[in-house]
Structure 1
């Protein structure tokens, strides 16, 4: 009997080394939900040739009805039947349902009911339904070297790069499994080797707007589409803000599928160029100037249309972005034939409302959505058709890339120019 048990355990774990606690999970001693999660994580770990698990301090799960579909909802129901509960603090990513009364953004009621069920099941699993794709700005900021398990590409690249924490892109099921077991397979960006820089970028551009950072992400990410490519930005002359680095990371992840970058003298694992590359030579070198940034803007073309939309989303806006937009929209009104949409999370919205930013934006005719990112809205293609929207103008490099799947003609513009377009209706 003992020999049979050892043989079965070895078959299930492959080459992974399990601690006594992990072995107990695999045997089902912590419940069937944890056992199933551990079995899945061993499969993932074995595929990526991980030798062991690392404990995590926080999980950030992805799952909405637009992304997970009915199959994913059934999986969530199955976890509920097994009384699944998270063993570490866990937050949730942005949702695809806005639960907002704007008739132009009508969503399917049956799907909305499923989304409400997802949110309810999150709560029974001990998931804090933060509905945020920027948890690193409001919810949880892991420390240098801290292991976490985060879903959503924008959160992962920020955690690895700006905070020096360690995480891979955790897919929906993987993020749930990590939340239940409190660990994740040690591969990829949990290991030192993957975190070494590989591309040297001499950043000589002025970088005066969030959109410039998105353009930079496109310039670097698009020709180097590699999960394990790690750009190292050097020679920039000032300290970027959290929001600027947020837009850079989101764009690199979108255009290049990248999960990490360094900025010499800024990010914690890049005090020097040598430290960023871990004493290795760059595989590629690039120089980015103001002319290169402008060329990104110049490459976008408008299509003739009487109905267009300006969107500030992807990632959700911080409190300071909300403040800046309120100042730009104050005393102005969104033009006929135009729509303007902002997305943020519940925490930022509450503070922005208290500070008057929400009222200013809504007085100008801006629609503010909580807890979502625009590009994952349920039935977005239909929403575009129903409103006749052709051009989508945004200051988000990530958004203008990802949302093309919904057949918008996308145009990247700087923030002030986006506001001017929204309020004048003139495409420039």
Structure 2
């Protein structure tokens, strides 16, 4: 360690190793998927305070990750291409990014140190941005501030590539667990069991458990590393031991040529999907597996990845799953075993935050934009706490409303679920869902808070032409397609506006049988299956498109960083109006400005959509 060190902190080493770098601190959690460019290391979440900064040569200090389960894939890509941070410091327990580094260590023999500090020590780092930091295992030392042209903060990594030993006795192993760990069921199962046990140790789980199904999110192509992991496990003889569905992939397998997708990229995406199919997974290709006939029942123990799907499964279906990171999902599928921890256990499904919504008790006073805005706000204040929302049961939210709420909630929160009193299946009474062990906090939600969320999600400039209406993030349901058809009947889409829906193959087939696809295609709507908006770029999004309108708070949050476009957020009906009406003025929802509420928003709440 250096002689100029000023502060020394001792934390918990999630990943051992040694590194130096320039401290890049933030008090705001960060999703690497949609928030960091895996090719360049730039932080592209345009709502984050570190937007525009680069991770290379840094020691990143954030409270935790948040949002997508695919962040583990992004950190893996960053490590493989040398664009990642030299080390990461967390304030809270963090599984998704840590898992990505564990996979890098287990499969590729490379890693960076990860340390968790006590909250008080972590808080001391926040004002020290730019300082030289040295990390060795669980020890963090802060030295003098680096000059801008200093080369002294390059990566000094000394991780022993001999894999960490799995301590017998830290997790009680069944005979099948032990056999897999010893290699009796092949190399893929052996490495998968090592990864599972390392995560179980981090979670404090004492044993593993059977799961009835797995939903794999790691099938989207983030770069060469994601493909290398899948093909390595397949080539090692990996075969799933439980029914396994696949999340959205990076292309529409049936239309990518007509969409003029780069053949090289399409080839990589196809190879990745095929590797998982070769291991026995089903080509469902949807980010909304809860819409499939195979959706789990109440109380069923499953292992799902994809943040919105996890939140929906736990909260709306009452199934039980942790927010599994990419690559841990396939490891569980190849073994059929998962750590008995997190929301698999009753005590870890309890709420510690009560969110009261006042003044909105009539379903006629809100439209469908209410639910993603509320979810976005609750996610921002919940952080890693499970909330229970009180005061909206009289609105009788539909499952699609809950899908929109959950996707927005999962964008900003790392919590695996929510409760809505009188709506979600476990929330029969407040006492039934409140934690007995954690301090309970209470907040109320005002129209001012939701107005602020609306302003954050509407990033388009006044008068900016909207060239694309994007629907289906998460994937559109059959009910949403049917409702959209009703809104479009007797109307005509403007020539200068493109409308595209993403949905699953299964939903597309049902909508075709119902005659809805033909009807909406006649209106001018295009359909894309297999992939989702978080993976779509040019040329599906035309280069001439300056602004995109969506009814998804999730996409309105991630979209500016992913696409480089400005965004307009509104209800489904407003999206249809924007597609049809020349000179249509996009304003705040009426429910946000009702009851004498003062209009106070940037750009006066007006966004123009011209033909």
- Could you state the TM-score of these two structures normalised by the residue count of structure 2? 0.64
Deviations 1:254-305 (A, max 9, x none): 1223311011222222110011104567633233356654554356353244
Matched residue SS, 1:180: helix
2:380 alignment counterpart = 222
2:498 alignment counterpart = 339
Matched residue SS, 2:473: strand
The 5 A counterparts of 1:194-273 are 194-204=348-358, 205=360, 206=362, 208-226=366-384, 229-236=385-392, 237-273=394-430
* Residue of structure 2 aligned with 1:61, choices 216, 224, 229: 216
The answer to whether residue 479 in structure 2 is matched with residue 320 in structure 1 is yes
> Structure 1 residues 124 and 306, CA, compared in 2 at 3 Å: closer, same or farther?
same
The 5 A counterparts of 1:73-222 are 73-99=227-253, 101=255, 105-204=259-358, 205=360, 206=362, 208-222=366-380
Per the TM alignment, residue 382 of structure 1 is displaced from its structure 2 partner at its CA by 6.6
Matched residue SS, 1:80: helix
1:18 alignment counterpart = 173
Q: Distance in 1 between matches of 2:455 and 2:181?
A: 56
Deviations 1:31-59 (A, max 9, x none): 22111110111111112222111110000
> Structure 1 residues 40 and 32, CA, compared in 2 at 3 Å: closer, same or farther?
same
2:577 alignment counterpart = 420
Q: Are the aligned partners of 1:319 and 1:352 in contact in 2 as well (CA < 8 Å)?
A: yes
> Structure 1 residues 91 and 102, CA, compared in 2 at 3 Å: closer, same or farther?
closer
Matched residue SS, 1:172: coil
- CA-atom RMSD, angstroms? 2.4
1:5 alignment counterpart = none
Q: Distance in 1 between matches of 2:507 and 2:194?
A: 38
> Structure 1 residues 338 and 233, CA, compared in 2 at 3 Å: closer, same or farther?
same
> Structure 1 residues 346 and 21, CA, compared in 2 at 3 Å: closer, same or farther?
same
Per the TM alignment, residue 383 of structure 1 is displaced from its structure 2 partner at its CA by 5.5
Matched residue SS, 2:470: strand
Farther-moved stretch of structure 1 (15-24 vs 164-173): 164-173
Name stretches of at least 5 consecutive residues in structure 2 with no aligned partner.
1-162, 587-611
Q: Are the aligned partners of 2:466 and 2:548 in contact in 1 as well (CA < 8 Å)?
A: no
Deviations 1:209-233 (A, max 9, x none): 332110001121123322xx11101
2:520 alignment counterpart = 361
Q: Distance in 1 between matches of 2:391 and 2:279?
A: 46
How many residue pairs are counted as aligned between the two chains? Answer: 415
> Structure 1 residues 102 and 164, CA, compared in 2 at 3 Å: closer, same or farther?
closer
Name stretches of at least 5 consecutive residues in structure 1 with no aligned partner.
1-7
* Residue of structure 2 aligned with 1:28, choices 183, 186, 193: 183
Farther-moved stretch of structure 1 (173-182 vs 31-40): 31-40
> Structure 1 residues 100 and 418, CA, compared in 2 at 3 Å: closer, same or farther?
farther
The answer to whether residue 389 in structure 2 is matched with residue 389 in structure 1 is no
Question: Between Structure 1 and Structure 2, which shows a larger proportion of helix residues?
Answer: 1
Q: Distance in 2 between matches of 1:212 and 1:390?
A: 26
The answer to whether residue 557 in structure 2 is matched with residue 401 in structure 1 is yes
Q: Distance in 2 between matches of 1:57 and 1:102?
A: 33
Farther-moved stretch of structure 1 (401-410 vs 364-373): 401-410
> Structure 1 residues 281 and 48, CA, compared in 2 at 3 Å: closer, same or farther?
closer
Q: Distance in 1 between matches of 2:468 and 2:213?
A: 37
The answer to whether residue 438 in structure 2 is matched with residue 284 in structure 1 is no
* Residue of structure 2 aligned with 1:39, choices 188, 191, 194: 194
Q: Distance in 2 between matches of 1:10 and 1:173?
A: 20
Q: Distance in 1 between matches of 2:439 and 2:539?
A: 45
1:52 alignment counterpart = 207
- Could you state the TM-score of these two structures normalised by the residue count of structure 1? 0.90
- Greater relative contact order (Cα < 8 A, sep 6+): 1
